[in-house]
């Protein structure tokens, strides 16, 4: 049992353990940007399969509403919450090791307990902020989807009216009347 505890202490104190934390921390800094980039490209891919003018308006609308920045902030909050939970769990393991030792280090134990408390408070705060941001983004996305649907409907209507005028089924006056009735 004592040999097992010594192995765990060596692993915690080893540089590899610190390098893993540094890697996870570095990855978490850029995770929000990566995911928001994938979301933005997915939205743009769907839009590009439609009409060019509608796509340009949609790109302008997404940029105007700063959806990419909001997704980045949201996922940064989620990754911060994950990192704080991992730090809290790691410190909890460290606290257990401190308690098992025959000679108790009060300073290390207090620092460990303080780190656990702070990390779980930050975890809770970041989770609540990210939920709030997700709700705001969802509402904004619904608004954008409605605008896009209206733009797409107008583009299809315009295309259809052009064909009807080309085949001389309607005249310019009837076209204007149809467009006015749609609004």
Q: Is 85 among the domain residues?
A: yes
pLDDT at 44: 67
Domain extent for 69: 2-132
Q: Mean of the pLDDT values across residues 34-53?
A: 67
pLDDT in tens, 69-91: 888 888 888 888 988 898 888 88
Confidence of residue 66 (pLDDT cuts 50, 70, 90): confident
- Across the chain, how many H-helices and E-strands are there? 6, 0
Q: Over 70: is that where the pLDDT of 35 sits?
A: yes
Number of domains making up the chain:
1
27 domain residue, yes or no:
yes
Tell me, yes or no, whether 158 lies in a domain. Answer: no
Domain assignment present for 142 = no
pLDDT value, residue 49: 60
DSSP string, 65-112: HTHHHHHHHHHHHHHHHHHHHHHHHHHHHHHHHHHHSSS--HHHHHHH
Residues 6+ apart with CB under 8 A from 94: 12, 112
Categorize the per-residue pLDDT at 115 as very low, low, confident or very high, splitting at 50, 70 and 90.
Answer: confident
pLDDT, position 121: 92
Range list of H helices, the chain: 2-13, 15-48, 52-65, 67-100, 106-166, 172-182
CA angle (44, 49, 53) in 5-degree steps: 80
**169 lies in a domain?**
no
The pLDDT value recorded for residue 52 is 65
Question: Would the pTM count as exceeding 0.85?
Answer: no
Residue 146 lies in a domain: no
- The answer to whether 159 and 167 are in contact (CB under 8 A) is no
Residue carrying the six token digits 């983004």: 137
Across 155-169, average pLDDT: 75
pLDDT at 180 over 70: yes
Report the distance separating Cα 130 and Cα 109, nearest Å. 31
Judge whether 109 lies within some domain. Answer: yes
Residue 159 lies in a domain: no
pLDDT at 124: 92
pLDDT of 120: 92
pLDDT (average), residues 99-125: 85
- Closest Cα to residue 178, out of 154, 150, 146, 149? 154
């Amino acid at each position: 049992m004592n040999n097992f505890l010594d192995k765990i202490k060596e692993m915690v104190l080893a540089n590899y353990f610190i390098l893993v934390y540094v890697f996870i921390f570095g990855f978490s800094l850029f995770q929000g940007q990566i995911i928001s980039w994938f979301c933005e490209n997915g939205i743009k891919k769907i839009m590009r399969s439609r009409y060019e003018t509608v796509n340009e308006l949609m790109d302008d609308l997404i940029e105007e509403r700063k959806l990419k920045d909001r997704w980045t902030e949201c996922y940064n909050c989620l990754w911060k919450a994950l990192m704080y939970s991992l730090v809290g769990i790691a410190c909890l393991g460290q606290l257990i090791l401190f308690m098992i030792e025959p000679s108790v280090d009060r300073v290390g134990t207090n620092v460990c307990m303080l780190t656990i408390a702070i990390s779980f408070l930050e975890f809770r705060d970041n989770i609540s902020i990210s939920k709030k941001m997700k709700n705001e983004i969802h509402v904004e996305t619904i608004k954008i989807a409605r605008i896009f649907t209206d733009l797409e409907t107008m583009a299809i209507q315009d295309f259809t009216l052009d064909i009807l005028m080309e085949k001389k089924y309607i005249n310019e006056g009837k076209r204007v009347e149809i467009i006015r009735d749609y609004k």
